[in-house]
Structure 1
Amino acid sequence: MKKFNITIAGGGSTFTPGIILMLLDYLDEFPIDTIKLYDNDKERQQTIADACGILLEERAPWVTLTASTDPAEAFTDVDFVMAHIRVGKYAMREQDEKIPLKHGVIGQETCGPGGIAYGMRSIPGVLELVDYMEKYSPDAWMLNYSNPAAIVAEATRKLRPDARILNICDMPIGIEELIAKNLGLSSRKEFEVDYYGLNHFGWWTDIRDKKGNTLMPEVISHVSKNGYATDGSSELEQQASWNSTLKKAKDIQALDPDTIPNTYLKYYFFPDYEVANSNSERTRANEVMEGREKFIFSECRAIIEKGTAEDTRLTIDEHASYIVDLARAIAFNTKERMLMIVENNGAIRNFDPTAMVEIPCIVGSKGPEKLVVGEIPRFQKSLMEQQAGVEKLVVEAFEEESYQKLWQALILSRTVPSASVAKDILDDLIEANRDYWPKLK
């Protein structure tokens, strides 16, 4: 069986060790020859690389690991690029969250003004990776889960239309694992779903077991009372901010009782609630920096100091198994049914054909084949049109270096109450992002 070469773009990420552990767990199904780490922060990446090198030597010594800041070295002779970059790191995420809150608007990583700011930083970073891949390994596929996925997907559709890039998000996967747990199932792979929307902006319309029997009434009953909360033991529920998010899903679900929602819809439907329950001095970025960031790097340094990963507390990133499923589908033509972010082009009949929608696809060696959703209700259609407009305006603003269009994008977001507030936020975001955004005219 062929062994694959993989580049992890964003090699210095705190998620990289979990992804490598996950890849090791699937070596029988997806053999690997070489893993290359690529990042523009050499020092940060080196800590991750040194620890993961020890881990690989102990668990899979035949797998080669390299780390580089040189695109030619990192992208030459690879089959897949797994991209999860964060331009500006968590310091800029903190600005994305705190600047809108200063103006009484929700501060969030991928939604509203924070997501727009992050998108303006991410677009050039992801386009650069696509160009490196096409230059040095033109037959490779990029599996991109860099946030904000909706804006990045629209940018690659418009600005790199022929690129071999697949845009995905693991958030629905995380929710489906919680659903499986509440159903008493061992895994989300025991059922099949129907889903449509935009990234971080969608609805499940059916969940069926492998015999085709709907499980939806039981799921709806649980979500309408408890949201996506389980017995409290899941990793997400151990984090206060996520615990409240999972429970809030019951209020979102009440808006359309026949479906169940993506949790991120709370930011659009209940922005006043979210602002009132936010701490403008300590946002999610601070939680991550003080929690996950410190933990992962301290664990990596401990591995390096001891020279062994035998007792490490680093764990497999289970959500990332979705990425292996996607790589396997491409490599071995498995025709797996997966949620993907793809150009609509008629899959949702009464919606913009150029919008990047998140829907089930059958994935094989030629990429995703969209499954037809049909027509969607007026409520969802109207909401999606507004949000797709935000995403398209952000990409146009980036391409044209347009202040006007970025202002319009902020005005169009359901999270922003007025044009004057949008302008005040935009001016503050421009100042904070002067080292990352193009100079707007």
Structure 2
Amino acid sequence: MLHDIGGQAPNPRQTKIAVVGGGSTYTPELIDGFARLRDTLPIGELVLVDPAAERLELVGGLARRIFAKQGHPATVTTTSDLDAGVAGADAVLLQLRVGGQAARQQDETWPLECGCIGQETTGAGGLAKALRTVPVVLDIAERVRRASPDAWIIDFTNPVGIVTRALLQAGHRAIGLCNVAIGFQRKFAALLGVAPGDVHLDHVGLNHLTWERGVRLGGPEGENVLPKLLAEHGDTIAGDLHLPRPLLDRLGTVPSYYLRYFYAHDAVVEEMWTKPSRAAEVAAMEKQLLEMYGDPALDEKPALLAKRGGAFYSEAAVDLAAALLGSGGSPYQVVNTYNNGTLPFLADDAVIEVQAAIGARGATPLPVPQLDPLCAGLVANVTAYEQLALEAALHGGRDRVFKALLAHPLIGQYAYAESLTDQLIAHNQEHLAWA
């Protein structure tokens, strides 16, 4: 059943957006962006879809208040009925966490017993998340296709690269989105003293495995100021990444934060043993946030939300949806989409994360200069893992899980892969139909 919490009839000439996982504590970040950027993406109806009714009503109430405060005329509805919620949608945003923070806590802990990274998108924990998530997302996407065959699916659900590949292989109108690139864009713009829209990134790799090889002013052909950035602000950038400044100087690039799991694996594992898990931190934060969302006087996203993660997600989502739906948006954006020859050493149906031209037909990756072996080798290795991970997620089976783990460069030893396979299955049986 749909619950109207907005108060106005939807304008049929404006866009209908559905957010699956709308009860997430992330959602007010998204709502804030929709409200501020309504000229870029004019929304007539926003539907928040989530099976967690209590959370959904808290988030939905805050969404209504944010829209009202900023004078946004859209109708906001909440529902636990997926089919009703996505019917007639122009775009459907997916932001799911199958198994919730409890599953994330497991992903971040049991791999450590083998001396491997415990993380929700990388390594064994990332594989566990993919196995739980891909079947659920594909079911949702099929229902979206039946209810709204022309809708775009924008996937923010991790692991984004694997989930997006699953969606594209099943023939869905889908694009993957991550906030890493827009975070770098905003950071670099601030350091350079320019507007974010003036910063174009030579961003290349796979989701959560990317490098900024250039920072250009004005567009794809603009002046590359990355050497200047590293010379003048290298210490600041390295500090944000928790990587040593000399490494950035030697690479001549800015790797994403997630490259730390590869470049400083043993140090990160030791750190994970001694610090509370990110899942525990987020669970505590979510409890506080939901209490805040229930306050009828709250009509803006709280400052605490900035610590939850997903910074600038709303702006990236608005920009992408607007460009896909023809209402505005930047012509070039960093997205996850089919390789289609962009990186010649990968198959065409591999999913990469690069700058692309965005329009009504989707994403067309911009040309990428040849990758050096240091980057290309790791990209090829992790792409092979992602292919095996997707096969395990689609078809199940202990052997497929084992092969995916063995292929991952952060694991790679058969004894570890055997033990991690057993633990992954044991910790995720309720989410694995074949287990």
TM-score (norm 1): 0.88
Greater CA deviation, 129-138 or 314-323? 314-323
Cross-structure match for 2:185: 176
Residue type of the alignment partner of 1:199: N
Q: Does 1:189 align with 2:184?
A: no
Question: CA 1:208 to 1:65, structure 2 compared with 1: closer, same or farther past 3 Å?
Answer: same
Q: How does 1:91-110 map to 2 (within 5 A)?
A: 91-110=102-121
On the 8 A contact 1:397/1:405 being kept in 2, the answer is yes
* Aligned mate of 1:227, from 233, 237, 240: 237
Which residue identity is paired with 1:380? C
Q: How does 1:298-313 map to 2 (within 5 A)?
A: 298-303=291-296, 306=297, 309=299
- Offset at residue 379 of structure 1 (A): 2.0
Map 1:251-400 to 2 at 5 A. Answer: 253=248, 257-279=251-273, 282-291=276-285, 293-303=286-296, 306=297, 309=299, 318-332=312-326, 334=328, 336-400=331-395
TM-score (norm 2): 0.90
What is the aligned partner in structure 2 of residue 218 from structure 1?
A: 228
What's the CA shift string for 1:55-112, capped at 9, x where partnerless? 3344446321111111221011111111111111111100000111122211111111
Shift of 1:302: 1.5
Contact 1:21–1:315 (8 Å) recurs in 2: no
Give SS of 1:227's match. Answer: helix
Q: 1:226: how far off?
A: 3.8
Q: Which runs of 5+ in 1 are unaligned?
A: 230-242
Distance 2:374 2:305 in 1: 41
Kindly report the root-mean-square deviation, in angstroms, between the aligned alpha carbons of the 2 structures. 2.3
Instruction: Give the counterpart letter for 2:210 in structure 1.
Output: G
Tell me which of 409, 423, 434 is aligned to 1:428: 423
Quick one: structure 1 residues 310 and 348, their matched pair in 2 at CA, closer, same or farther if it must change by over 3 Å?
A: closer
**Residues 54 and 270 of structure 1, relative CA distance in 2, 3 Å threshold:** same
Aligned equivalent of 2:144, options 128, 133, 137: 133
How far residue 318 of structure 1 moved from its aligned partner, in angstroms, is: 3.0
Cα distance in 1 for residues equivalent to 2:132 and 2:376? 28
5+ residue gaps, structure 2, are 1-10
Q: 1:415 to 1:369 in 2, by over 3 A?
A: same
One-letter amino acid of the counterpart of residue 299, structure 2: A
Contact 2:339–2:348 under 8 Å retained in 1: yes
Per the alignment, residue 401 of structure 1 pairs with 396
Is the Cα–Cα contact under 8 Å of residues 97 and 133 in structure 2 kept in the other structure?
Answer: yes
Please list every run of at least 4 consecutive aligned residues from structure 1 whose deviation after the TM superposition is greater than 4 angstroms. 310-317
How far has the Cα of 1:172 moved from its partner? 1.7
**Distance in 2 (alpha carbons) for counterparts of 1:111 and 1:89:** 17
Moved more, 214-223 or 162-171: 214-223
Aligned-residue sequence identity (percent) comes to 27
User: Does 1:4 pair with 2:15?
Assistant: yes
Matched length: 417
Cα distance change on mapping 1:376 and 1:314 into 2, 3 Å: closer
The Cα of 1:221 is off from its aligned counterpart by 2.3
Deviates more, 1:315-324 or 1:21-30: 315-324
